[in-house]
Structure formats: C-alpha cells, structure tokens
Chains A and B, each alone.
Chain A
Amino acid sequence: AQSVAQPEDQVNVAEGNPLTVKCTYSVSGNPYLFWYVQYPNRGLQFLLKYITGDNLVKGSYGFEAEFNKSQTSFHLKKPSALVSDSALYFCAVSPLTGTDKLIFGTGTRLQVFP
C-alpha cells in the first residue's frame, strides 16, 4: 500500500535559522511527491512537487525539498525561517492511478519563534 509518514507532529525553530520538515514515503514505482501548506481556517496551498529530474526541487516562498530515492525521503527545507512560515505542512504522494488522488501524511506543525 502507498503511504506517507511525517514523523514529527511539531517542529520549532527560531526565526532566521534553517528549517527541515521530514517526510518519508512508501510507493511502488516512481513517485510523484508534493508539499502543501495549510494556514488557519484556510485550504491547502501548493508549495512544490517532484516528478522527475533534479533531486532538489525549488518551490514557493523560498522553500525547497530534497528527494532521496535510497532513503525514500522527501524533506522540506528552507535556509532561513520566517515567523510567517508558521503553519501546518503536509507531504503527499500521488499513486498514479490516472486520477488526481493524493495520499497525505498526518501533517507537521511548524512554529517559528521571533
């Protein structure tokens, strides 16, 4: 079965420091991987995706993610965190069934302190 794991319920980081939000996946074949962000009382916003090619993917708001096939990981990173980055982050995988179905992780709450 295809699945996504986000091992940390919450990540705390000081403003200006680098941040990492972890994600591991279990899929058959080559995965399509995504990161979405959810602000309070808002829907999900697309940050970035990995389809194929360069293992380092750059996305919105200065975020990037590194695809590591051997470790089946797709960690989200940002070199310098902002207080406004505080939100709920979801990793997702597409099972490539010919639909847009996404399988989401349980989410990681990022808290950036001033």
Chain B
Amino acid sequence: DAGVTQSPTHLIKTRGQHVTLRCSPISGHKSVSWYQQVLGQGPQFIFQYYEKEERGRGNFPDRFSARQFPNYSSELNVNALLLGDSALYLCASSLAPGQGHGEQYFGPGTRLTVT
C-alpha cells in the first residue's frame, strides 16, 4: 500500500504570492492533518480535516486555509506569503480523529521557500 503522498516536493515562491500544497492520505484513512515544521523546531499543528469538515485548528493566521475532498485528499492554501512561512509542511493521515489515539502516518513533506 502506498503511504501518504504530498506534492510538490519543493517549491520556491516570492513574498505576497499564494501557494497550494496537496496531500493524499493512506487508502482507508479519512482524516488528514497538516503541520508546519520550521528549521530547528518541532512540527506545529495547523489543521485537521475529517469527512471534509475542519475538526481542529492550530494557532495560525487566517492566511492559512485548507479543505478536504470527497476522496479524502486535502489541500493547504497559504495567501500573502511571508518569509517566515518558509518551512517543511507535513501532512499526516489517520483512520479518524482519536481512533488511533493520536497515531498518525506522515508524508515526506513539501519544502516551501519564500524569497
């Protein structure tokens, strides 16, 4: 079975631009979470989506948004990019919120660089 997949692998954007990151969960997993990992820090929770509805949101500005599609894949959108948005963006999937007691399966991440 394929694991969690993310695209693109790397991305370079300019300040003020918009970016869309994509994630496909493991087959059978209905929940997707997004994390931001800035260099030298642990991942920070951004969103969780389950059955196309937002189930959790971290302490991120409204420039960050996400959605989940009927096939359970997900997009993370970031508007008006800032230099500080440069990070590795990780997607994680699970069967459903809480069912794995927090055990999630992470994708390889998208490395976003904002110049």
Contact = CB atoms under 8 A, between A and B. Distances in A.
Contacts of A100: 31, 33, 48, 56, 92, 94, 97-98, 100, 102, 104
Interface in B99-115: 100-109
- Majority-rule SS of B interface residues: loop
Contact of B4 (A43, A49, A98, A105): A43
B102 A103 contact: no
Contact of A34 (B35, B98, B103, B108): B103
A34 B106 CA distance: 14
A102 B48 contact: no
B58 interface: yes
Contacts, number: 76
A96 B4 CA distance: 23
A105 B102 CA distance: 15
Interface string A82-114: 000000001010101111111111110000000
Interface residues of B, number: 29
B104 A43 contact: no
A82 to B, nearest CB: 22
A41 interface: yes
Contacts of B58: 101
Interface of A: 4, 32, 34, 36, 41-46, 49, 51, 90, 92, 94, 96-107
Interface of B: 4, 31, 33, 35, 40-45, 48, 55-56, 58, 90, 92, 94, 97-98, 100-109
Given A4-B42, A36-B106, A100-B31, 5 more contacts: A32-B101, A98-B97, A99-B97, A99-B98, A100-B48
5 pairs of A and B residues whose beta carbons are closest in the complex: A104-B42, A99-B56, A94-B102, A43-B106, A44-B106
